[in-house]
Amino acid sequence: MPRPFTPKVITANDLLEGDVIYFTTANTWTRHLSEAELITDEAESQLRLLEAEKQNLTIVGAYLADAKAGENGPEPTHFREDFRRKGPSNYRHGKQEAAAHV
Amino acid sequence: MYKYNDFDAAFLAERNAQFRAQVERRIDGSLTEDEFKPLRLMNGLYLQLHAYMLRVAVPYGTMNPTQMRQFAHVADKWDKGYGHLTTRQNIQFNWPKLRDVPDMLDSLGEVGIHAIQTSGNTIRNTTADHFAGAAADEIEDPRPYAELIRQWSTDHPEFQFLGRKFKIAITGSETDRAVTKAHDVGLRMVRRDGEAGFEVMVGGGLGRTPMIGKVLRDFLPREDLLPYLEAVLSVYNVLGRRDNKYKARIKITVHENGIDTYREMTEKAFALRKAEFDGTDQKLLAEIKEHFAAPTFRHGATDRFDSTYGSDPVFRAWVDTNLSAHHQDDHAVVTISVKNHGQTPGDITSEQMRVVADLAEEFGYNELRLSHEQNVILPHIHKNDLPAIHARLRAADLATANVGLISDIIACPGMDYCALATARSIPVAQEIATRFDDLKLEHEVGDLKIKISGCINACGHHHVGHIGILGLDRAGVENYQITLGGDGSENAAIGTRTGPGFSYDEIVPAVERIIKAYLEVRDSAEERFIDTYGRVGMEPFKAALYPDAAKKVA
């Protein structure tokens, strides 16, 4: 039996800002994981990655990252993606800083 | 220190202009990321977890106050007001924007600083003893040789596409403060029959396959340095593996082919290379040496130092911990700790950069150094100026008296920044430092080097830490392995793993158990941790770390 597919989001870094971005159902990029498209089908994930990579002139290094459905949209399943979502733990820099200014 | 001539300045300006055009072409879509990446890496620009990172070289760790102030300016204008001192005498800016990087590089270029070859499969920034030119035990200042290597290796066409990165470290003392035995090539100044020369070590390195460098030549006359290095590199270029990134470093080349074969091939290549050198390098070296002439040292009474040392215990503690012997009796080498308890090791704010620049200018003959241990050094300070310097450092939160102690931890950026990391290292360092500060045990424990890496690549030098900590990802959870008995000095040794790793929450208590065991088994307060380990071995520490395992056996 094939292993069950772990849902994915597509994530990358913005070319100019360098910060973490996520691919949405509208083929746009968001700064918030919760607004990302959660892909639950393996074949679909590869097609969506190709779609995302069409925008390689403005993004860097798109890849599929494991995620799970949460109350407010996709959530990370691994601590690395959790850090990418928030920012470093020694200062309130990165996304957590942006959030504090909202 | 070395001052750029017209050629150097023009070369750097042109290089920065080229990179500016490359950035523009990436932004306008003329270059793909695959095309742009090697170009940006050649100029020190990485893309990490949350942002770009610009790694700037401080050649052999030497800089002047003007350069330090420019780092402060760059940090304020284009970054978040601080810089991170690395374990290879570089400074990293963690938050630059792509469009700003050419301006940052131009700004640094104005003061003779560049980011060339701080990444990529080239000869990297040559690191040196951070006490060079000041240490009491020095045979000769190694920095002119390091500068010669910088000029020779920068943009050297034969060595721009090596199989893998290549790191050279140099020390002018027989005491090794530059971890020369953990470098691709280590150069250690030695004397033979009254003549100074280099002991050349090859094939050292940390990372996933840690190895101590082997002696390739026990005595290399100083004038043969460049032809010999060319020979070493040319053999590596031919023999080094390009089929597997993890087998590509010279340590594997030497290991697989044997040191004798490597030596034989190097000596053959050396004979050919040597014939091609017409003495230009020696003329250049002579010019470079003039730049590194020792300052005219002020002499005079040390009464202010003596009276403050007698009356101020805080000053005394700092002097006893952070000062090293200078070749002038009335001078000292001051290590400024950038390791406040609970702070990120090696992070220095723009304000602090300006304070140390001012101190170097007012008291320190315009000289500053960075150490691979992520601290800042004022290499030449007259002892009578120390009380004033200490007061200014205190006001800037830079007077922590912990150099060489348990909280003077080397830590790589780890998963808080680095795209390669498998676990965090900074918070582990912060918590260990805070914990032992709370326990007030630091000075009692004494000389101890803890080094932490957030992945197997070992930027935090964990293999040569007396206590080494390696952060890994074990089934999606941070896990920390401990090694003991590593040593980065002239007695270089790779640490031995204690056993199973510890979770993030368990690692600080585990270190505490090691320290308690050490305090119990050491034969006196003078016996350093590393010496106790050498005497008693792993067992008492294992028993302290894994009490349940001991019970099971019993």
Q: With bands split at pLDDT 50, 70 and 90, how would you rate the model's confidence at A75?
A: very high
Rounded to an integer, the average pLDDT of B133-143 is 96
How many whole angstroms separate alpha carbon B361 and alpha carbon B63?
12
- Name B39's Cβ contacts closer than 8 Å, sequence gap at least 6: B19, B22, B31
Name residue B198's beta-bridge partners: B189, B220
Mutation site for B-interface testing, chosen from A6, A79, A92 by largest number of B Cβ within 10 Å? A79
Give the A:B interface size as CB pairs under 8 Å: 71
The verdict on a CB contact (< 8 Å) between B98 and A18 is: yes
Q: Where are the domains of chain A?
A: 8-101
**Predicted confidence (pLDDT) at residue A33 exceeds the cutoff of 60:** yes
The residue with tokens 């007259």 is B382
Helical packing angle, B143-153 and B280-291, nearest 10°: 130
ipTM (interface pTM):
0.95
How many whole angstroms separate alpha carbon B307 and alpha carbon B368?
27
Averaged pLDDT of chain B? 97
Mutation site for A-interface testing, chosen from B45, B49, B503 by largest number of A Cβ within 10 Å? B49
Closest listed residue to residue B495, CA positions, set B481, B508, B505:
B481
Cβ proximity of B353 and B346 under 8 Å: no
- What pLDDT shows up at residue A98? 75
User: Per-residue pLDDT tens for B41-80?
Assistant: 999 999 999 999 999 999 999 999 999 999 999 999 999 9
Domains, chain B, with CATH or none: 6-109 (3.90.480.20), 142-291 (3.30.413.10), 307-395 (3.90.480.20), 410-553 (3.30.413.10)
User: Per-residue pLDDT tens for B350-408?
Assistant: 999 999 999 999 999 999 999 999 999 999 999 999 999 999 999 999 999 999 999 99
- Lookup: tokens for B310: 């007698």
- Lookup: tokens for B520: 């119990």
Using left for φ > 0, alpha for ψ between -120 and 50, and beta otherwise, residue B476 falls in left
User: Per-residue pLDDT tens for B193-214?
Assistant: 999 999 999 999 999 999 999 9
**Predicted confidence (pLDDT) at residue B554 exceeds the cutoff of 60:** no
Residues of B with CB under 8 A from a CB of A: 26-27, 29, 32-33, 47-52, 80, 94-99, 344, 347, 415-417, 424, 426-427, 430, 473, 476-478
- What pLDDT shows up at residue B402? 97
Mutation site for A-interface testing, chosen from B30, B47, B50 by largest number of A Cβ within 10 Å? B50
Distances (CA, A) of A34 to A11, A30, A69, B514: 12, 9, 9, 43
Cβ proximity of B231 and B158 under 8 Å: no
Question: Helix (H, G, I), strand (E, B), or coil: what is residue B317?
Answer: helix
- Residue of A19, A61, A89 with shortest CB distance to B424: A89
How many whole angstroms separate alpha carbon B498 and alpha carbon B295?
48
**Predicted confidence (pLDDT) at residue B461 exceeds the cutoff of 60:** yes
Percent of chain B at pLDDT > 90 equals 98
User: Per-residue pLDDT tens for B76-85?
Assistant: 999 999 999 9
The string of DSSP letters for B471-502 reads EEEETTEEEEEEEE--B-STT-B--EE-SS-E
Nearest chain B alpha carbon to A96: B50
Cβ proximity of B308 and B320 under 8 Å: no
- Name B524's Cβ contacts closer than 8 Å, sequence gap at least 6: none
Contact with chain B for residue A4, Cβ under 8 A: no
- At residue B45, φ and ψ (nearest 5 deg) are -100, 115
CA B346 to chain centre: 11
**Predicted confidence (pLDDT) at residue B547 exceeds the cutoff of 80:** yes
User: Per-residue pLDDT tens for B265-299?
Assistant: 999 999 999 999 999 999 999 999 999 999 999 99
- Residue of B47, B80, B347 with shortest CB distance to A18: B47
**Predicted confidence (pLDDT) at residue B222 exceeds the cutoff of 90:** yes
Rounded to an integer, the average pLDDT of B490-500 is 96
- In eight-state DSSP terms, residue A5 is P
H-type alpha helices, B154-258: 225-239, 250-257
**Predicted confidence (pLDDT) at residue A102 exceeds the cutoff of 60:** no
The residue with tokens 């250049």 is B284
The residue with tokens 């020696």 is B282
Rounded to an integer, the average pLDDT of B111-123 is 95
How many whole angstroms separate alpha carbon B366 and alpha carbon B1?
9
- What pLDDT shows up at residue B174? 84
Nearest 5°: the CA angle B384, B388, B392 is: 150
In angstroms, what is the C-alpha Rg of chain B? 23
**Predicted confidence (pLDDT) at residue B344 exceeds the cutoff of 90:** yes
How many whole angstroms separate alpha carbon B118 and alpha carbon B43?
7
- Name B357's Cβ contacts closer than 8 Å, sequence gap at least 6: B65, B66, B68, B69, B72, B368
- Residue of B50, B476, B477 with shortest CB distance to A19: B50
The verdict on a CB contact (< 8 Å) between A18 and B51 is: yes
How many whole angstroms separate alpha carbon B15 and alpha carbon B109?
10
**Predicted confidence (pLDDT) at residue B458 exceeds the cutoff of 60:** yes
Percent of chain B at pLDDT > 70 equals 99
Name residue A98's beta-bridge partners: none
Q: With bands split at pLDDT 50, 70 and 90, how would you rate the model's confidence at B551?
A: low
Name residue A22's beta-bridge partners: A11, A30
- What pLDDT shows up at residue B552? 61
- Name B121's Cβ contacts closer than 8 Å, sequence gap at least 6: B161, B162, B163, B164, B165, B166
How many whole angstroms separate alpha carbon B504 and alpha carbon B319?
35
Strands B467-474 and B331-336: unpaired
The verdict on a CB contact (< 8 Å) between A83 and B33 is: no
- What pLDDT shows up at residue A35? 98
Distances (CA, A) of B367 to A37, A39, B173, B286: 54, 57, 19, 21
How many whole angstroms separate alpha carbon B111 and alpha carbon B496?
44
The verdict on a CB contact (< 8 Å) between A89 and B427 is: yes
**Count of alpha carbons within 13 angstroms of residue A21, beta-carbon side:** 23
Instruction: Count the Cβ atoms, other than its own, within 10 Å of residue A25.
Output: 11
Q: With bands split at pLDDT 50, 70 and 90, how would you rate the model's confidence at A93?
A: very high
Amino acid identity of residue B136, one-letter, is: A
**Predicted confidence (pLDDT) at residue A100 exceeds the cutoff of 80:** no
Residues from chain A contacting residue B52 (CB–CB below 8 Å): 18
- What pLDDT shows up at residue B492? 95
- What pLDDT shows up at residue B548? 85
**Predicted confidence (pLDDT) at residue A52 exceeds the cutoff of 80:** yes
Longest dimension (CA), chain A: 49
User: Per-residue pLDDT tens for B144-200?
Assistant: 999 999 999 999 999 999 999 999 999 999 899 999 999 999 999 999 999 999 999
How many whole angstroms separate alpha carbon B47 and alpha carbon B37?
9
